[in-house]
Amino acid sequence: MNLALKSPEPRSGILDIAAYVPGKEIAPGLAKVHKLSSNETPLGASPRAIEAFQKAAFNLERYPDGQANALKEAIAAVHGLNAANILCGNGSDELLGLLCQTYLGPGDEGIVTQHGFLVYRIQIAASGGTPVTVSERDERVDVDAIIAAVTERTRIVFIANPGNPTGTYVPVDEVRRLHAALPAGALLVLDAAYAEYVRRNDYEAGLELVSSNRNVVMTRTFSKIYGLAGLRIGWMYAPRDVVEALDRVRGPFNLNAPAIAAGAAAIRDQAFIAEAGDHNQKWLAIVSQALTKIGLRVTPSVTNFVLIHFPAEAGMSAGDADSYLTSRGFILRAVGAYGFPNALRMTIGTKEANEGVVAALTEFMGRK
């Protein structure tokens, strides 16, 4: 045997993980494309955030603040929180991974839901734990199914609230009921990436639950309504001992200086965020109603996207619709990996993009 030809092998189980595949971005041959596949805001970033980012460019030779204090303080001020309970990360994805790395090991189980964010499964498996997938009901998280799946090996439970790609949410009373059924040694992680879009009285992102318990964590992101997806900024609100544990294993400079500056400016510009929320609320209703009117089923959403289901019984497939839309410059997200082989997820975009998708799908339905 020629040992020189043998390459290092990844740890057992790593190659069994299906890599995350982001939404596509291009439509070959077209000059103008509307990308509606990644739930990015059509309003872009706050002008204040852009100005802060540009100013930060004059000090790129310096390391950033390893604690991201300016960003923590801005988040704490806007949400009325203790900055000591906040940890910032390179997108909320990093924080989800750090939670798994810190609290899971071989033999431990992490619970995810049927249509939950794929990164949960990836990070659980990458940490040596076992992902346990529970079913959802009518494209909604089923609290009873989660409770039934809890065992003595359960160490973490991930809930996307609101959910992605469904756009549905778990009312706060149901979240509290779930938490009450968990053992003290199990961590409940509430991924509230789309919380800023929700306008329902029975929704709560998780701030109160975290404040009053030692085994609840809430994660948030600047990639959606704040329009800073390109900078990768996430944050976590958690009990102090959880923050201290993750602080021991995260990279010492996991957030770059322009991101810290832009994030702090963005969250303080709540007037801009309100404008983005109003735009979304208006067009979410218009798009949902228009698509329903032409015979498509749309999962009721509280987010900045809609899940569109195509009637297979009528010979219509999401794949055909995706190709038809792409050929016209509208890029949506295929969601077969999330358990919806005959659906597409559409981000609420600009007026032009929204009306264009509705018109294209009307033509598609008419052709069929």
pLDDT at res. 23 = 72
pLDDT value, residue 2? 61
Per-residue pLDDT tens digits for 120-168: 999 999 999 999 999 999 999 999 999 999 999 999 999 999 999 999 9
Domain 22-44+271-367: top CATH class: alpha beta
Interval 267-306: pLDDT, tens: 999 999 999 999 999 999 999 999 999 999 999 999 999 9
Comparing C-alpha atoms, which of 240, 195, 188 is closest to residue 221?
195
Report the pLDDT value the prediction gives residue 135, as an integer from 0 to 100: 97
Q: How far apart are CA 320 and CA 310, in angstroms?
A: 10
Domain boundaries, the chain: 22-44+271-367, 47-268
Of the chain, the percentage scoring pLDDT greater than 70 comes to 98
Domain pair 22-44+271-367 / 47-268, same fold: no
The beta strand positions in 16-175, using DSSP E, are: 34-35, 86-89, 109-113, 130-134, 154-160
**Nearest CA among 247, 167, 242, 238 for reference residue 209:** 238
Helix-then-strand count for the chain, H and E: 12, 13
Q: Does domain 47-268 have CATH number 2.60.40.4070?
A: no
pLDDT in tens, 326-355: 999 999 999 999 999 999 999 999 999 999
